Amino acid sequence: MNTPTKRRGCFRNGCLALVLLPLLIFAGLFWAHRSSQALPDRFVLVVPLSGGIDEVRNESSSLPFLPSHESLSLQELLFVLNHAVADERVREVLLDIRGIHTSPAKIAELRDAVEKVRKGGKKVTAFLRSAEDADYLLATACNSIIAERGGFLLLDGLKVESLFYTSPLGKLGVQVQAAQWKKYKSGIEPFVRTGASKEYLEQINALLDEFYDDYLGYVSKRRGMSRSSFEALINNDPLVSAKKAQTLGLVDGIASFWELQRQLTRKVSGKELARDNDVFVSGARYRSAVAWPQKGESDERIAVITMSGMIVHSAGEMGEGIDIEMLKNSLDAALEDKAVKALVVRIDSPGGDALASADMLQMLDSAAVKKPLVVSMSGVAASGGYMAALAGKTIFAQPLTITGSIGVYALKPNISGLAEKIGLGRDVVTRGQYADASTPFKPLEGQAYNKFVGASGEIYDDFVGKVAASRKMSIAAVDSVAGGRVWTGSRAMKAGLVDRMGGLFDAIHAAQQLAKMDMGKKLQIILYPEQKSWFESLLQGRSASLSDRFAAAVKQQVLHELLPQRQLTSMATFYEMLLTSGQLQMLAVMPSDIIID
């Protein structure tokens, strides 16, 4: 009797289909993605702007066939607009603005980018959806402003709000001990005071005066009205309808977004708006279709290394920010690449861990010996962020960049009152005089407290010494502008803390000159930390299988869309770590966050 032979391996029934079907689906998605990147011969570039504008995008491996609502980062916006200037396919640019909440310097740099597009001969239109001050300030950089039909403008001015936690924490039985170097380093105040100090109010008022002056001056100039008229509107009639805004000359037209699309479609293509019209290209699609970030005319390159977020020893401490290993890997890659002739370090950081900041400066100083290094400050480069900037041969800042804050403070929580309230007992056996000194269950006292304060002073003296050496200033001169004082970029230049006013492209141009590169040729730019595409992330995973990495990428993207990462302020991030860890923290951090909304 003949017994049928069983098929084994991948040719048994159904196995081949299980292998081929996922591959066919994957290939189809890949082909669809590649096809979607082809751009029409003439189109309107639509750039959505909303929420907080991060320096760089946190998600580097988003799947192309899943929709993403994440806004473009500041650097993506700058490069997209820079590409658009010389791209003949881009006939107009439309900024779709809805609720911007970001720093004054970032708005100013975006304004500069919009002005560059205008000077390149292309019309830029702003579409405002019930705008507030930041939205309107950016919109005034455009050729025309269209308000959404039925919308409004809320132009009520600028404010800074501070919260103080000393009393509510005291009711819980929690106190915080602090060491402050020096009196302008006001980051300790929310935990040790019930109201702002005169030094803090002095700084905030000075910053707010500059931001408000820029706001009034820029808007009145661009809209052809007197400064006093615009300020009177803010003070007397802050909430206006779209119709009244047009009457007052604040906007140029009123339309729904659909109506505006119809107008632009007829203007660009001569046709009516329809589903098959390919007139509008989103900023995200355009970014994926062009050579990124910039293709050069030779093999010579400039590396832009971004330090964005809190400075920490290890990113594992908080799931964000710049850590030592990340910076080291970026510097190593840029220094080993022989085609990279110069480095631009782009800083958007309020500082962070004082010792990690010092380590990063040492690494950057070492890199600057091997290749020219220029620093570009973004929205904020203060405290530990300013310390890192000291490595630059030239330091660029925007006039409204927040910088300086040369100072140190230390915080230590004491939860003895809370322990007593809940009846928590504690018995400790130690060896060594200070073995239990840093516990959160009791305050520092006597010699232990003196050492706590003294350590902060030593770090401050070291910080001041670093600034003096780098900026070629005396210790006394540095101390006179340090002590925790916060400066705008324009005032910091007068104080000798930065060299020149300008944005990212100005710093790149200066690096090109320092490296003696051919100034007549368009140079190639590479960005670090390296952001891998979704395809590279799938192929380069080290441990999991391809299918597992694919599933993980889908899961990560879906979770990111459903539960976006919450935005933490510079102080709140460290405060959260302080109160959850219970450990002493030695910080070189900006005392506050200032955003315009």
Active site residues: 185, 383
- Interatomic CA distance for residues 537 and 533, integer angstroms: 6
Helices then strands, each counted (H, E), the chain: 22, 23
- Interatomic CA distance for residues 290 and 84, integer angstroms: 10
**Other CB atoms within 10 Å distance of the CB of residue 589:** 30
User: 128 phi and psi, to 5 degrees?
Assistant: -100, 125
Q: State whether residue 124 is helix, strand or coil.
A: strand
Cis peptide before 64 (omega within 30 of 0): no
Q: State whether residue 379 is helix, strand or coil.
A: strand
Amino acid at 74: L
What angle, rounded to 10 degrees, do the helices at 504-514 and 74-86 form? 70
Q: ∠ CA(467), CA(490), CA(101), 5° rounding? A: 105
Tell me which residue of 590, 482, 587 sits closest to 176, measured CA to CA: 587
Yes or no: say if 124 and 114 are a contact pair by the CB < 8 Å rule. yes
R_g of the chain, CA atoms, integer Å: 27
**Other CB atoms within 10 Å distance of the CB of residue 234:** 17
Write the CB contacts of 434 (distance below 8 Å, at least 6 apart in sequence).
448, 451
Q: State whether residue 283 is helix, strand or coil.
A: helix
- Interatomic CA distance for residues 359 and 331, integer angstroms: 13
Parallel/antiparallel/unpaired status of strands 239-241 and 152-154: antiparallel
- Interatomic CA distance for residues 373 and 514, integer angstroms: 9
Q: ∠ CA(315), CA(318), CA(321), 5° rounding? A: 55
User: 272 phi and psi, to 5 degrees?
Assistant: -85, 155
DSSP H or E stretch at residue 208: helix 198-223
